[in-house]
Each structure stands twice: as structure tokens, then as C-alpha cells.
Amino acid sequence: QGKPVTSLAAVAYEAGKPLSLEEITVDVPKAHEVRIQIKKTAICHTDAYTLSGADPEGSFPCILGHEGAGIVESVGEGVTNVKPGDHVVALYTAECGKCKFCRSGKTNLCGAVRATQGKGVMPDGTSRFKNKNGEPLLHFMGCSTFSEYTVVADVSVVAVDPTAPLESACLLGCGVTTGYGAAVKTADVQKGDTVAIFGAGTVGLSVAQGAKARGASQIILIDINDSKKKYMNEFGATAYINPTKDLKEDETIVSKLIEMTGGGLDFTFDCTGNVKVMRDALESCHKGWGVSVVIGVAASGQEISTRPFQLVTGRIWKGSAFGGIKGRSEMGGLVKDYQKGSLKVDEFITNRRPFVEIDEGFRDLHTGDSLRTVLTF
Ligand code: NAD
Ligand code: DAO
Ligand code: ZN
């Protein structure tokens, strides 16, 4: 029987307040739970969004972080998919293989731990984290990677090839997989298709590399921050437009894209989370068949709109979570693609910091040309 461990963690006590770096206690994993020693974690906008208080579902105090990789330290009873010593990636989109969602073959969403994950607790309704006053701390997105040790459900973790660097594996826990999967799975881009991507962050640039892998004929990146332009060639984009500068007086981003593609795009992707951009993305799709994929997470309370005639005339609006990727069955393939060199991952690491610099890591999110900051425990 294992023992509780002490762990360095960044605790989010209250929305809008700084993180508190402190030693917490991480309990032993119960049945069907896995305790992971996190080695590398990246910071994503969802962590910042929840910390800011803008997320109405954010509950505090909690341990944020959902893009992380590490080594299994111990497992609870009944765990068969991973063992101590395995290199693993935490999954905010679980895969149980048994629920209605998993069996449908139609989605990567899984219902197994959905209700408790949303409440910040483990499937038995309790937390494995407490601070030095014995106060319980909530989990986040089923991962909580801003702690050197974390406990996750066995359905929320996947073992990966130990020869893959953990700093690369951790990025497959969210941003890279989300964009790449949205292109190759959700949209299923085909050779010769035209693609426009709104937002050239890690997610948008990963859509670009997925579209390139599929042989798209045009891959147009749209961003309002010109410091993103320098990434366009590396990830396969064929054109870059800054709608705040590159449009003539009588042009809109929609009219420009329709003109550049002789009628509109086969596929567009929103990777900004801005609902006005989502509308432009839909309306720049080709009449009759163009598909627009919403990936960006809009702020609470925002709604999308368009004239219904846009849909009547054959444009399709859809969404994608974690790129439509089933974490446990498909992560191994992504790691292989990375190892073969056909999936770029390391190129997204623009900043590396020790975990104690997590505050600076959050600040990196707001510097224009930063893609991902990876923190090391
Ligand atoms: P990011 O901030 O690194 O990139 C967003 C980019 O969009 C930036 O380069 C920014 O300059 C650009 N942008 C902002 N407003 C714009 C506008 N009006 N027009 C054009 N470009 C604009 O973020 P990221 O990590 O790449 O994530 C992108 C989005 O995807 C976020 O909303 C994030 O929450 C979401 N996300 C969704 C999933 C999912 O599963 N659906 C997973 C991860 C991230
Ligand atoms: O099953 O109801 C559900 C939700 C599953 C989580 C999907 C999250 C997609 C967006 C998350 C933002 C990224 C970090
Ligand atoms: Zn399931």
C-alpha cells in the first residue's frame, strides 16, 4: 500500500489571484486511479481563462494544468492500462471504451468521468489533493498537471513510447493534437482541398500541418498579430493575411478569401475563440459544400450567428474537441508520427522554464510570438 506524497504545486486559491507555489499532499491512488510524477507541463489558454475567473464553471481552490506528461509512480487496484515506470500523457478527454459515446464510433467524447471531472473531483466524488492546513484542493479537467504529483482516472491517461521526450509528449496532451486532429480527423481534409485557418497559435499552426500532410492545395493563415507570420512556411501555410492591414478598402476578409479561392474554401477553422471570426470562417466557405470547424473556445455567454441561408446553401458548421482524437487508442500513432518526423511538435516550444517560473510562463502567453512554454519539475 502506497503512502501520500508531498508535492510542489501551484495552487489557484481564488479567481483573479496569483497562483500560490507551495507543498501539498497528494493521496494514494484509489481503485482505477493512477498517481503520476509530472515531469513536463505546458500552459494553455484554458488554464489562464479559468484562473482569470471568466470561466463560470471554474471552481476554487484548485490545481490547474492539463497539458502534461510524466512517469507513473503508483496505481490503484484494478488498473491494467498503465504500470509504475510507464511514460504517460494525461488526457482531459478520457476514453473508457465502454460508454455510449465510446461505443458509438462517432465521437471522441467519453461519458465515463464527465460529471465528476466537471466538478473538480475524482470519480468517487473526493479529491486527492490537500494543502498543509488539510484543506482539500480541487482537480482540473481530470489532469491537474501544475503539481509534481497528480492523480488521474485510469481512463484519463495513456502510456507512450519512453524514447519520446516528455517535453514533446506533453504538447500532444492538448494544442498540437487538437489542431492536427481537427484537420485530419474532424475535417478529413483531402488532397487538393483549400483551407483557411483563423488564428495562427499552436492550434491553428497544427491545423496547417495537418492540412499540409493531407496535400491541401492552399493553406491560408489569418491572424491579427504579424509576429505569427514567421511561422507560416514551417507549418505549411501558402499565404498569410492580417485582416487589420492587408485588406483594400472595399474588401472584407470573407470577400478576399472567396476571391483568392475562386468561390470559397473547402474547409475553414476557427482557432481564435472569437465569435465574429467564427462567422467569417463559416461565410468564407464554398457554397454547396464548404465546412467550417469551430475549435476556439469562446468566452462565457458568447453566441454565434449567421444568416440561416448560409447553411441552406450548403455550408456546414461543426466543432471539434481535442481534434476528434481518442486519447488512449490514438496517442501512440501521433507519437510515432512525431518520431518519424511527419508531425512537428518541438517547433512549438518557444519558451522553457523551471516550474517555479510558472507566473512568467503565464505572462509568456501574452507575448505575440510565443507558442508554448514548457515547465520542468
Ligand atoms: P493562441 O492564443 O496561441 O492563438 C490564437 C491566435 O489567434 C493568436 O495568434 C491571435 O493573435 C489570433 N487571433 C486573435 N484574435 C484574432 C482575430 N480576430 N482574427 C485573427 N486572429 C486572431 O491560442 P491556441 O493555444 O492556439 O488556442 C486557440 C484556441 O483554441 C483557443 O480559443 C483555445 O481555448 C482553443 N482550444 C480548443 C481546444 C478544443 O479541443 N476545441 C483545445 C485547445 C485549445
Ligand atoms: O464531454 O462534455 C464533454 C466535454 C469534454 C471536454 C471537451 C473540451 C474541449 C475544449 C477544451 C479546451 C481546451 C483545453
Ligand atoms: Zn467512454
Q: Which residues sit with Cβ closer than 5 angstroms to ligand 3, an ion?
A: 96, 99, 102, 110, 112
| 243 belongs to a structural domain | yes
Residues 104 and 248 in one domain: no
What is the pLDDT at residue 271? 98
What is the pLDDT at residue 212? 98
Residues 239 and 100 in one domain: no
Are 27 and 4 in contact by the 8 Å Cβ rule? The answer is yes
Long-range CB pairs of 74-78, under 8 A, 24+ apart, other chains included = 74/2, 74/28, 74/29, 74/34, 74/35, 75/29, 75/33, 75/34, 75/35, 75/154, 76/28, 76/29, 76/30, 76/31, 76/32, 76/33, 76/34, 76/154, 77/30, 77/31, 77/32, 78/31, 78/32, 78/154
Residues 189 and 265 in one domain: yes
Give the model confidence (pLDDT) of 120-138 as tens digits: 999 999 999 999 999 999 9
Centre of ligand 1 to C-alpha 223, Å, is 10
The catalytically annotated residue of 41, 50, 93, 102 is 102
What is the pLDDT at residue 368? 80
| 336 belongs to a structural domain | no
Residues 108 and 240 in one domain: no
Counting the structural domains of the chain, the total is 2
| 339 belongs to a structural domain | no
What is the pLDDT at residue 57? 86
Q: Which residue has the cell 465502454?
A: 98
| 120 belongs to a structural domain | yes
Ligand nearest to the CA of 114: 2
What is the pLDDT at residue 135? 98
Residues with CB under 6 A from ligand 1: 44-46, 174-175, 178, 198-204, 222-225, 228, 271-274, 277, 295-297, 320-322
Reply yes or no on whether 372 is catalytic.
yes
Copy the grid coordinates of residue 34. 493512477
CATH of the domain at 157: 3.90.180.10
Integer Cα distance of 253 and 275 in angstroms = 15
CATH of the domain at 181: 3.40.50.720
- What is the DSSP annotation of 10-24? EEE-STTS--EEEEE
Q: Which of 312, 273, 320, 313 is nearest to 292 (CA)?
A: 320
Residue type, 58: G
Domain that holds residue 61: 5-173+345-376
Residues 118 and 158 in one domain: yes
| 61 belongs to a structural domain | yes
| 331 belongs to a structural domain | no
Centre of ligand 3 to C-alpha 120, Å, is 18
Q: Whose CA is closest to atom 10 on ligand 2?
A: 321
| 338 belongs to a structural domain | no
Give the model confidence (pLDDT) of 62-119 as tens digits: 999 999 999 999 999 999 999 999 999 999 999 999 999 999 999 999 999 999 999 9
| 330 belongs to a structural domain | no
The segments of the chain whose pLDDT lies below 70 read: 1
For 305, residues 6+ apart whose C-beta sits below 8 A from its C-beta are 275, 279
